[in-house]
Amino acid sequence: MISTELAARLRDAGLVWRPADGDRFRIDAADLSAEVFTVSTMTIEAHDYPTGTILGFNGTTEWALDSVAIEDALWLPREDQLRDLLRSTFRGLTRTTPGAGEQGGAERYDVEVELLGEARTFIAADPAEAYGTALLALVELSS
């Protein structure tokens, strides 16, 4: 899962969320900021109205919440969603594992994309973070 900080940067750069089953999100409220919620027609359902999208909480798991405006929720896109959003710019994902005897080496993931005709690589310790930073660059170029 991508970090809250990266998810906020993607949102602030203009990434639009259309809630679907399986999507994870956090609520921008101090007492709920550590909780991760999942959209599911059984418990949390997206309702589209002319005034905007509302995430309705059904059932007993989130009994204290009736609904939350989408503007008050922070989408935490999954790795597959981030890769899909990169579309035709995506060139590949490489996992690098430190060799025997290497000191201080840690596993890392390199995502290669093509932006404006130029190959660029984004590196992170988690594949979702690498995809997310690549997508952030793409969204920033598009705006």
Rounded-to-10 torsion of CA 64, 67, 69, 72: 20
Q: Return the closest-CA partner of residue 109 out of 77, 137, 134, 138.
A: 134
pLDDT tens for each residue of 7-62: 999 999 999 999 999 999 999 888 887 889 888 877 778 889 998 888 887 765 54
Fold adopted by 80-142: Double Stranded RNA Binding Domain (3.30.160)
Q: Which residues contact 56 (CB under 8 A, 6 or more apart)?
A: 44, 45, 46, 47, 66, 67
Contact 46, 12 (CB under 8 A): no
Distance separating alpha carbons of residues 9 and 62, to the nearest angstrom: 27
Question: What residue spans define the domains of the chain?
Answer: 18-76, 80-142
Per-chain mean pLDDT for the chain:
88
